[in-house]
Structures are given as structure tokens and as C-alpha cells.
Structure 1
Amino acid sequence: MNQFHTPMTACKCAQYKKMIGYKLVLSADVSFVLLTKVFMETRVANRLANGEIKDIPHEGDTHPLPVNNGPNTLHGGISGWDKKHWQGPVKTYLGDGSESLLYSYHSPHLDEQFPGALDVTVRYTIKDEKQDGTDVSVLVIEYTAQLSEDSPEGWAVVSMTNHSYFHIGDKTTIEGTQVTITNNTNIETNEVDIPTGKFKQFPGIESGKPFDLGPEEPDIDHGFALTTDVANVPLDTRSLEESTCIKFYHPSTGINLVVSSTEPAFQL
């Protein structure tokens, strides 16, 4: 479960446009954004090495997948969940005054060659809170996935994430955005961006110390761990306490954006 926090006073009418092949959320008015369905959900949060699932459910088993990023499978294949038609939204008003939109998708067995049929949902909840004396708008994204009754397999590989780009400045690039990460523990990867199983400190960035983004540099695109005790991370993390992952601020708009999650890692 992920949360995005931004001061209500910074909200303005949302727009979105496509730039450099990606859809960017250009403001904090999330109610408009949800209705335009610009959020992109992916089945796999990053890459699967060599375009295959190995040693599941038995050691020595291999399941080939479509390759779409060098030798690897990225975000669930060529026609991933971000390109599928999701049912919804189903709108719900909650007792605390917040409202949510629920989208659902049935992923059939061998969808992009992934074994196992899944019923997946993504719920977006918008609510207003007071944090440290400041009124903020909060967007909560909650993901669920479970094996369908018609699944011929009793297992499936899934690691859902959101892949939207939140642009809080007033220009066409992210230049001038100030970034602060809470934990500089980098998930080490090899030359084709597959995790090695090791952790290290990312060079040039300090935990808790802001740095500025330029129009193209620094080009980080790396994963950071909120915990290295991965063996004790449960499959369903929604009951865990949220941890602040990263903070953004842009001086030209005065918009602050804080991202927190119950998941053990985040990508910058």
C-alpha cells in the first residue's frame, strides 16, 4: 500500500500530457486524475532475469516470458497490465468523508506467458488529513491479487506497483525539483539491472539531505531498500506500519509531495 501526501493549499486543476513516452501527472488534484485513468499499474515492479521464471514451483522448473528490456522481462511483458482494459471505476464514499475508486482486472492463465490466473484490484482513496498542523490531501493506492478459482496453477508471480510520474513543477521538465530520500540503502544490480542480492550506499546521495534534479541529471532510476531483513517481510504488507520513502518539493509552485509505503523498497 502506497500513500502520496500533498498540502491542500498547493492543489490546482489537474492536467496530464504525454512527454518523452510517459504520462505525467501535472498537479495534485487527484480526483480528476483518477477519472482520466492515467495511473499505470504493472504486474512486476522491475525486471525478471533472462525473460524467465526459474525454480518455481519446483527446483529446475523454467517458464519462458516475453523479453522487452535487453535480455529481461520488464513490468510484466510487452502487453502488461498497464495496457489492459480494467473494469471500473466503482466509486465508494467512506464514513470519514473520503472517497475511493476501485478498478479490477482478471488476468487469465498465460497472460503474457505468466502461469496462473489472477483476480487483481487497485483501489485509489482520496482523503484530507491534518498533519503537524497542516491540511494535506492524501492519495492511498492499495493493491490486491489472488488466484482465481479457474486458475490451473496453484501459484503465480506478482509484485504490483504504480508507475505514474508526478510532476510538481511548472515547466515541461522536472528541473528544480528538490528530493530527499529517507534511506540511501541501494539495492545493488548487475550490468543489466538485475539485483545481485547485495546492498550498498548509493554514491552522491545522503539520507535526509535534499538534492536538486536537473532536466536530465542526476539520472538515478535505482531501487532503495527500507529494510534489508527481506526474509521477514510478509507477502501481504498492508498491516505493517507505513514508512516514509521520499519527499519532493518544488520552489516555483510551493508543492510538497511525500510518498510513504508499507512495502520494503521504493524506486527513484
Structure 2
Amino acid sequence: MTRFQMIPRLAFGMGMTCLAWNAVQADEMTTQTPSVEKQSFGQLPDGRKVEAYHLRNGHGIDMKVITYGGIITSLRTPDAQGNVDDIVLGFDSLEDYRSDAYRQSNPYFGALIGRYGNRIAEGRFTLDGTTYELATNDGPNHLHGGDQGFDKRLWQAHSFENDTGVGVELRYTSEDGEEGYPGTLETRVRYTLTADDKMIIDYHATTDKATPVNLTQHSYFNLEGEGSGPITDHRLMLNADVFTPIGDTLIPTGEVRDVAGTPFDFREATAIGARIGDDNTQLEYGQGYDHNFVLVRDEAASGELVTAARVAAPDSGRVLEIATTEPGIQFYSGNFLDGTLTGKGGEAYEKRGGFALETQHFPDSPNQADFPSTILKPGETYESRTVWRFATQGDDS
């Protein structure tokens, strides 16, 4: 086994109460019908219309996603008492997502990220003997696809209903040379809200030239409700016994380091804020957690869903569990939120007002020969699945 193929995967959904069986909500659930509805969400300066798709699963969960950036603008779920709150950071209007204040801070609230999620060192990589230059939009490095990544593109969309649930499929063609990347990349992403309280995100891409691809979703969660304050008391479990340390510009050093005995050990549920202020060089570099964790899986489970993370909020009793086919997950503790952006509920998003858990291949993989490859070649198909499961529990023991 390699360091990226370790021990058997965890059972997905272990130890949680499915929202569908929460007795408090039982009467309400019997009266709701799964549905998907298309609405207007404004238009871009060039006149192109942006649409919103409103998904409901009949159990009190509903989500809105817009065709601009594939952004999840809201995600409402019941808590342990049946109270429904929006648990993702974001805005009510297209103008807010395109404002100068948003662009300057660029937190990527709820957006689809591509072509390459996370960072590429110095905005440069070499492939088949050719060096490609990308935008350096994060200090000296390339971040989340560049100046006009997938988060700022208008996607084509259509809704669907099937035996699994209701959803929306988004498509985008990234032309050869866009943001410096080689090849025309045909991308498809499907959001499916299921009858059993899951959000399934399926990624699919093909290319006509070899190119790096690393797609992810960048929602910020606060399981007490967006705008309700810091997430430092949320209890996090990460299915990882190693992580990839970073340098002072947040690029991986190439090392794979054990989490044991460090503030990065979340193998057992631990409050996010319990060790975030420790005297630790890695925490200093990230100003908190902004690191890739290598998920535990055995060789036979390569490409299969494994549990990646579980987060529980102590007051609301909400639980989010994430499973993925990806080898890694980036845990970001909202370190650069600074109160300059005001969300849907009228509350400013202060530092650590939300957390992100981005399923992914590793940062800077095009420049790291020992990391799992992110190169997609003609004739191959990029396929990836991530599942968010929503649940509640009486206490976080």
C-alpha cells in the first residue's frame, strides 16, 4: 500500500438520525412533495439571463442554485427541533455576487470551482514538454481556476426528476486556452437532492488535449444558521491520519505528515476552535486551518465513496456528513472572512463565520510528481462524486 491507500473506509452515515425519521417533523413531511422550480435571478451586464433552480425534497430540505458559477445560494435544513434555517453563506441577489466588495475578498461562496480547485505554485506547470502560464490571483500563486474561473461563468442548465430525487444539471464548455489551460474541456455537474436527505454532486468532464482538472464545490457551512456567529464550537471528524503541510504561500511542500500529536488530528470529533490558536507553524501559515487532508481508504476502495468528514453543531443538533470518491479534502476554517460582507440574514460574515470542506485531488498536483495525478487526457473521462448527508442528533457525544 502507498500513503494514499491505507485502511478500510468508514461506514457512511454511521451513528446519525435521518431527518426523514425525526418525529418532530413527521406531520410536515407527509404534506410536502419533492419539486424543482426555475426562477429568474437577474441578468449579467451583457444581457445574458441568470436563472435560479429551487429544489425541495419533501423532508424540509430545500436548496437554490444559480446558473452563474453554479452557486448554491441557499440550503435550508431542519434542526433537531424541526426549525428550518439556511446553513450556507451567500447572498440574495446577483449584484452581491458581482459587487466590488465581493470580488476584492473573493471567498467563492457556494461556487463550482474549476478548472483547478485549490492552488498551483507560481501559476505555472509543465505538461508534455510545454510550460503553461496561468493567472497569479492569490499572491504568487494560481487559485481556483484564475481570474475568471468556473465560479464566474454562466452555465447552461436543465432540471430533472427521477427515482433518486430532484435536481439540476449544469454544463459549461471551457475553450482551449481559457485562463491559460490547454484543451477544450466539456464539463457537466449534476446536483441531486434525494428523498433520503442527501445532496449528490456528480462531476463529469472530457477534453481534446491533456489538461489538469480538479473540480470541487466551495460552499461555506454554518450548521447553526448562516450569520449566527463563529463555527469554532462545531465538532469535526476527518477521516484522515495524514495531511499535506504547506509553505508560507500555502503551497504543499510535497511532504505527507502524520496528524497524530498535532492540531490537525481530527480522527475523533473535536471542536474546530479547540486548537486553532496553538503555537504551530502550519496554523500560522494558514491563519487557521487551510490544509489538504489525505483520506483513509484501502486499495480496493480506490474510486469508491468513502466517508471524508462529519460535522455536528452543538446547539442546533444538525449534522453534516460528507463522502467522496476523491483522495483528499481541503478543510478551511473561514480565516479570511473579516466582516466586510453582509449575508442574506443581514448579519456580517465575521472571521470563522463558516467552514468549507472541499473534496479534491491535492493542491499543486501538476507540479508534485508524488501526488495523485490530475491530468485528464483525450479519450478519458473525468468522473467524481461527492455526497453531503444531512441529519440531526440529540447530543454530540
Partner of 2:205: 145
Partner of 2:163: 95
Partner of 1:250: 313
User: What SS does the corresponding residue of 2:151 show, helix, strand or coil?
Assistant: helix
**Does 1:80 pair with 2:140?**
no
> What CA deviation, in whole Å up to 9, does each residue of 1:33-92 have, x standing for no partner?
8xx8973111112111111122x022xx2111111111110011011110111111x112
Partner of 1:53: 125
Partner of 1:178: 235
1:169 to 214, 219, 224: 224
Overall identity of the aligned pairs, in %: 26
**Closer, same or farther: CA 205–52 of 1 in aligned 2, 3 Å:** closer
**Closer, same or farther: CA 177–14 of 1 in aligned 2, 3 Å:** farther
Distance 1:87 1:247 in 2: 32
Distance 1:166 1:46 in 2: 18
Structure 2 stretches lacking a partner, 5+ long: 1-11, 26-58, 65-70, 79-85, 95-108, 278-287, 332-397
Q: How many residues align?
A: 235
**Does 1:125 pair with 2:185?**
no
User: What SS does the corresponding residue of 2:122 show, helix, strand or coil?
Assistant: helix
1:194 to 237, 251, 261: 251
1:262 to 319, 322, 325: 325
So what's the TM-score if we normalise by structure 1?
0.75
So what's the TM-score if we normalise by structure 2?
0.52
> What CA deviation, in whole Å up to 9, does each residue of 1:85-140 have, x standing for no partner?
1111x1121124x12210011111111121211110110111133xxxxxxx1001
> What CA deviation, in whole Å up to 9, does each residue of 1:132-152 have, x standing for no partner?
xxxxx10010111111xxx5x
Q: What is the deviation of 1:26?
A: 5.8
Distance 1:65 1:227 in 2: 32
Instruction: Decide whether the 8 Å contact of 1:24 with 1:165 is kept in 2.
Output: no
Distance 1:227 1:169 in 2: 28
Partner of 1:28: 77
Instruction: Decide whether the 8 Å contact of 2:307 with 2:321 is kept in 1.
Output: yes
Distance 2:173 2:300 in 1: 26
Q: Which has the larger radius of gyration?
A: 2
Distance 2:188 2:123 in 1: 25
Q: What is the deviation of 1:175?
A: 3.5
Instruction: Decide whether the 8 Å contact of 1:190 with 1:196 is kept in 2.
Output: yes
The amino acid of 1:159's aligned partner reads N
User: What SS does the corresponding residue of 2:180 show, helix, strand or coil?
Assistant: coil
Structure 1 stretches lacking a partner, 5+ long: 17-21, 130-136
Distance 1:126 1:139 in 2: 5
User: What SS does the corresponding residue of 1:165 show, helix, strand or coil?
Assistant: coil
**Closer, same or farther: CA 23–140 of 1 in aligned 2, 3 Å:** closer
Q: What is the deviation of 1:251?
A: 1.6
